[in-house]
Homo-oligomer: A and B are copies of this chain.
Amino acid sequence: MIRKLYPLVLVDVALFSVADKRLQVLLVRRAQEPEAGRWALPGGALKPEEDHDLEAAARRELRRKVDLDIPHVEEVGTVSGPDRDPRGWSISVLFYALLPRDQFHAVVKDKVEAIEWVDVAKPRRRLAFDHGVQLAKALQALREKIARKALPLHLMPERFTLTALQQTCEAILDQPLEKSAFRRHLRGSTDLIDLGEQERERGRQRPAQYYRARPGFTFSK
């Protein structure tokens, strides 16, 4: 049995997005055994011949399974053990990534029957393998980062208002934030650029300023 010498090395990605003020994660329905027909995080086996490193493998799997090119993926950690995959001793290296929903669209591709954006808040059907645990880990990592004042600019469209940014943070943390404290904090950020343009489409109210992310901003803290 090969798995007694060499573990299966997998990458899995929790791809988050915000739609309608709710944090969602992309799930794919597996077309192949094991766990065919069950919903899972997109991911797959490392291919040493193709991949420059594990992060590159994660990005490649996103391209292959849902045709998305995500530049920034962030490592969360690993889960490992002999029984978590029926194919034998395995390691999954977990990543998360952020997608601005209006710019890119995930589509069904290789070895996937269907894809779906699922609210992370809602009770969910059981996922394939231990992907339920992995999703919880990725969500916790993302929330801790936002709670430490990192700005989820990777989730925002080209232009956005400060209110929209606040609503995105609220969707991630699943709790309301104080507007004045939130904005006071933003004043210290060098990653936001005031475009000087105003939102004009919503009518019958004061228009908001548009901002964009500074090119090469860092998703840190």
Contacts and interface: CB of A to CB of B under 8 A. Distances in A.
Interface in A72-128: 75, 77-82, 88-89, 91, 93
Contacts of A82: 48, 52
A43 to B, nearest CB: 15
B9 A91 contact: yes
A3 to B, nearest CB: 6
Given A6-B6, A9-B7, A78 B52 contact: no
B78 A78 contact: yes
A54 interface: yes
A204 interface: no
A141 to B, nearest CB: 11
Copies of this chain, tallied across the complex: 2
A49 interface: yes
A137 to B, nearest CB: 11
Nearest to A9: B7
Contacts of A77: 75, 77
Interface of A: 2-7, 9, 46, 48-49, 52-54, 75, 77-82, 88-89, 91, 93
B80 A7 contact: no
Contact of A52 (B2, B81, B93): B81
B81 A93 contact: no
A5 B75 CA distance: 23
B4 A54 contact: no
Contacts of A6: 2, 6, 9, 48
A153 to B, nearest CB: 22
18 contacts: A3-B48, A5-B48, A6-B6, A6-B9, A7-B46, A46-B91, A48-B82, A48-B89, A52-B81, A53-B80, A54-B78, A54-B80, A75-B77, A75-B78, A77-B77, A78-B93, A91-B91, A91-B93
A22 to B, nearest CB: 29
A91 B11 CA distance: 12
- Central interface residue in A48, A80, A81, A91, by most chain B CB within 10 Å: A48
Contact of A54 (B3, B49, B88, B91): B91
